[in-house]
Amino acid sequence: MLQVHGVSFRYGRHNAVLHSIDFDVASGEIVGLIGPNGSGKTTLIRLICDLYALQTGTIDIQGFSSSSPDAKAAVMHIGSNDDMPIFLTGWEYASTLARLYGVSLEYQKLAMMFEHFGMGGAEHRLIESYSHGMKKKMQLGCAFLLKRPLTIIDETLNGIDIDAWYTCINEFHRMRENGLSILLCSHDFALLEKTADSLALLRNGYMGQQVTLTDLMDEYGGIAEWYRTTLLEEAS
């Protein structure tokens, strides 16, 4: 699904932020991308989404270069902020996204999604009236409805309530069962332990070896202990 090989990136001549990054996301796999603030996660995601031009290396999505229309049509990126067109209603926003992706979207399915997120009826209201958490639910709900082959989620669950958190976990599992892939960038280890198949640790612009969640849990008992141990080993 997603193959990242030999990707390096620098801002200006001297500020290198990524160093020969290699990792993959298979079809029907959820990969958790973790790392400290400033480790290069956002830069990497922007490169995958072709928001930044590649300098070295390759990024392929479903066999297409990340800069190609076919690759872009396969990816939905949900960022960490809640910037949305506040002059649209929820229904107008979702249906506009569907048209951009060439996907049909039934109103009834959108209304049901709003009900699942405890926002019944809000699809008729302007996004301007939505709270921060409602905007996040709107973004996530669109990803669940549009079902792109690869969904990139960058800290989007921050700020949503616990009921919506569990709803998202169930939807992530459903997407995986349907062969869809997710790159889940998060500091929420509890979320990753409930959803991820494997983890990739990015630190100081360097990517460690991907580890399966099963192996990690067997050896360390949890992501927090694995993360702490890995950092201690790097420091020694």
Question: What are the pLDDT digits (tens) for 111-157?
Answer: 988 898 988 889 999 999 999 999 999 999 999 999 999 999 998 78
pLDDT value, residue 48: 95
The residue assigned the tokens 């872009």 is 72
pLDDT for position 235:
53
- Residue whose pair of structure tokens reads 């360097």 in the numeric block: 206
Mean pLDDT value of segment 206-214: 90
Q: What is the pLDDT of residue 159?
A: 80
| pLDDT over 60 (residue 236) | no
Per-residue model confidence (pLDDT) at position 83: 80
- Output the pLDDT for position 151: 96
Residue 183 has pLDDT above 90, yes or no: yes
Q: How far is CA 113 from CA 78, 91, 119, 191, 217, in A?
A: 17, 11, 8, 21, 33
E strands present in 12-73: 15-25, 30-34, 56-61, 64-65
Computed over its alpha carbons, how large is the radius of gyration of the chain? 18
Separation between Cα atoms, residue 74 and residue 76, nearest integer Å: 7
The rounded distance, in Å, linking the Cα atoms of 230 and 160 is 30
- DSSP-derived 3-state class of residue 156: coil
C-alpha span between 176 and 20 (Å, rounded)? 28
| Residue 30 near residue 195, CB atoms below 8 Å | yes
CA distances from 88 to 96, 178, 230 (A): 10, 31, 46
Domains in the chain (CATH in brackets) are 2-83+149-234 (3.40.50.300)
DSSP at 121: T
Mean pLDDT on 46-60: 94
Q: Which residues contact 166 (CB under 8 A, 6 or more apart)?
A: none
pLDDT at 171 over 90: yes
Q: Which of 161, 163, 162, 225 is nearest to 193 (CA)?
A: 225
- 232: pLDDT confidence band, cut at 50, 70 and 90? low
58 beta partners: 5
193 in Cβ contact with 223 (< 8 Å): yes
151 token code pair? 């969904």
Q: Which residue has the tokens 């201690």?
A: 232
Reading the block at residue 197, the tokens are 């198949």
Q: What is the pTM of this model?
A: 0.91
